[in-house]
Amino acid sequence: MSRPTVRVLALLEILQGGGTRTAADLAARLAVDERTLRRYAGHLADLGIPVQSVRGRHGGYRLAPGHRMPPLMLSDDEALAVLLGLLAGRRAGLVTTSAAAVESAAAKVRRVLPAALGRRLDTLLQTTDFTVPGRPVVEMEPAVLLRLAEAAHDRRPVALTYTDAEGRRSERTVHPYGVVAHSGRWYIAGADSTSGAVRTFRLDRITTAELRAGTFDVPEGFGPADRVLSGIAAAPRRHEVLLRVQGAVEQVRHRFPPGIASVDDGPDGDGWVRVRLQVEELDWVPAVLVGLGLPFAVDQPVALQDLLRSLAARLTAAAVTAPPRPEVRRREARWSVPVPGDDLHSGQLDDRGWCVSARLTPDDEMSKSCSPSPGTGSGRSTTSTTSGPRKRVICTARMRVRL
């Protein structure tokens, strides 16, 4: 590749970083004069890359907004960041389209990368494992997410068509204070015109979102993420748990998993805070409360109090020192079992000490079950021969005896 071509591509890479670059700065970085720089910019324009010339004291060159740069211009670090970002977003459930769209985007990036870099990135993706399982993708309209983010940034009202958990559709105007991603879902928190209160809305339940005229102010100190977590914790479920915990509000709130507890100051100001949980099942709550490491008292429900007493009994029993195990000695037992046949010469014990078979003469092989051993263990067998049509096998085994 000739030096001018290398410098043209270097100019493109610099401009890809964004912003307006002065002619003097670009010329210095490329080690050329400004006249040659203008010629390089013309070469890029001939290739269909919209390089804009900005006049004035602080003028220079920049890429036109909205231009889609070819992924070929990604550096090794940038290509790795893009592919890992796509992979992490898919596993975290943050993608707003199907998983197929993520795979397609990653495949397009890999196709235009240099072969050596593409092989290295493929090797990384194929050999990487994760300790946390991936979340399912909750599909939603990307246009809705982008429009709500624009409304929150510009502080403009937005008209929504929303479907709640019971399937009821409603039209409402919302002042979106912020967009929040939590546990694989997207939410907005804002003032709702229908209820007159600050609410949270799941974006996958929003069918349409249209910007409206006007503006609004965000309350001082409002935290969209905190409001989403408290809204999720307050959603009605099968059991409502009320308890008091000794400690500060922030200290207690951080002891609970995010989004399962609402924590407020106690009415008496005695160092105890009120905690409210909405849960479908109570069986996991006692372990969480014990894990707080703080004094607590359950006000309701009674069923949770019973579960706590049961857990306390099991923990107390587990803490008691186990009694010593009885001494075990090995003793030898002998018994005999009659078997038919002639010239009996061998027997066999299994690992429990049973005499399970006896071999007769080589010309007449036969296996017969024998009586069980009076003990357990492993051992060996010997045989004795007596006159008459019936023979006896004498089994010798070791057995364990408690004293």
Write out pLDDT tens, residues 276-312: 999 999 999 999 999 999 999 999 999 999 999 999 9
Residue 123 is predicted with a pLDDT of 86
Residue 202 is predicted with a pLDDT of 92
Write out pLDDT tens, residues 237-274: 899 999 999 999 999 988 998 888 989 888 777 889 99
Q: Which fold is adopted by the domain 239-319? A: Alpha-Beta Plaits (3.30.70)
Tokens of 381: 């067998």
Q: Which fold is adopted by the domain 142-232? A: SH3 type barrels. (2.30.30)
Tokens of 55: 């006049």
Residue 127 is predicted with a pLDDT of 87
Residue 266 is predicted with a pLDDT of 80
Distances (CA, A) of 57 to 36, 50, 54, 60, 119: 20, 22, 9, 9, 46
Euclidean distance between CA atoms 11 and 109, whole angstroms: 22
Residue 327 is predicted with a pLDDT of 64
- The H or E element spanning position 5 is helix 3-16
Q: How many CA atoms lie within 13 A of 144 on its CB side?
A: 21
- Closest to 362 (Cα-Cα) out of 344, 387, 336, 383: 344
Tokens of 29: 């970085």
User: Cβ neighbours of residue 378 under 8 Å, at least 6 residues apart?
Assistant: 349, 351, 353, 397, 398
pTM of the predicted model over 0.85: no
Residue 384 is predicted with a pLDDT of 41
Residue 349 is predicted with a pLDDT of 46
CATH top-level class of 3-63? mainly alpha
Q: What's the longest Cα–Cα distance across the chain? A: 126
Provide Rg for the chain, Cα atoms. Answer: 39
Tokens of 106: 């990653």
Domain coordinates in residue numbering, the chain: 3-63, 71-127, 142-232, 239-319, 328-402
Residue 64 is predicted with a pLDDT of 80
pLDDT tens, the chain, 403 aa long: 457 788 888 888 888 777 888 888 998 999 899 889 889 988 888 888 888 888 877 678 888 875 555 555 677 788 888 888 888 887 777 776 666 777 777 777 777 677 788 888 888 888 888 887 777 777 788 889 999 999 999 999 999 999 988 889 999 999 999 999 888 889 999 999 888 889 999 999 999 999 999 999 999 989 999 889 888 888 888 999 999 999 999 999 889 988 889 898 887 778 899 999 999 999 999 999 999 999 999 999 999 999 999 999 999 888 876 666 666 555 554 444 454 444 444 444 444 444 444 443 333 333 333 444 344 444 444 444 444 444 445 554 444 444 4
Residue 401 is predicted with a pLDDT of 44
Residues of the chain with pLDDT > 90: what percent?
Answer: 29
Return mean pLDDT, the chain: 77
- The H or E element spanning position 44 is helix 34-46
- Closest to 21 (Cα-Cα) out of 49, 68, 59: 59
